[in-house]
Amino acid sequence: MAMRSKVFTYHAELTWRGGRTAAVVSGDRPELTVSPPEDFPDGDGERWSPEHLFLASLQSCTMLSFVAHCRHHDLELLEYDASTTGSLERRADDHRYAFTHVEMEVRARMAAGQAEAARALTPKAERDCFITASTTAEVGHDWRIE
């Protein structure tokens, strides 16, 4: 008998608020107002844009994957932060704008004597991020673990 994989399903609702602004909700989570980034027409530099949410999704998914692997290997993570930049440009094949390259710099501090073991987990953390697996953008990681 073939083993069936799990299926995870998520739901969100969007309501247009006028202009180029919308509100997004999912269950009882706080409402999130989204608009274009400030370098697009009617953009708003004080609100989350789909582009910024995409980068935040990559960052948080990578972090969650790394934390899970650390826990599985009984490693104590003391600090973690990431800075991510993505390039949105026209693709050569279809001339559509898309994220083509994302570069994530991750800084983590582990309990004494655990940095090397944590470094060995970074390929797994990258591989197991569901959001990275869901994009065609090249995602590069620069891990700085001490």
Domain residues of the chain, as ranges? 8-48, 50-145
Strand partners, 80: 108
What confidence score (pLDDT) does residue 130 get?
A: 94
> What is the chain's mean pLDDT, rounded?
96
Q: How does pLDDT run across 10-37, given as a tens digit for each residue?
A: 999 999 999 999 999 999 999 999 999 9
pLDDT tier at 69, thresholds 50, 70, 90: very high
**Which has more pLDDT, 93 or 1?**
93
Letter for the amino acid at 89? E
C-beta separation of 119 from 109 below 8 A: no
For the chain, the straight-line distance linking the first and the last C-alpha, in angstroms and rounded, comes to 46
What confidence score (pLDDT) does residue 1 get?
A: 66
C-beta separation of 128 from 111 below 8 A: no
Average pLDDT over residues 76-97: 95
CA distance 87 to 141: 15
- Is the pTM value of this prediction over 0.95? no
The total of other beta-carbon atoms located within 10 Å of residue 134's CB is 11
Q: Write the burial class of residue 68 (CB in 10 Å: 0-12 exposed, 13-18 middle, 19+ buried).
A: middle
Average pLDDT over residues 62-69: 98
As a CATH number, domain 50-145 is 3.30.300.20
CA distance 111 to 74: 11
Residue corresponding to tokens 């004597």? 113
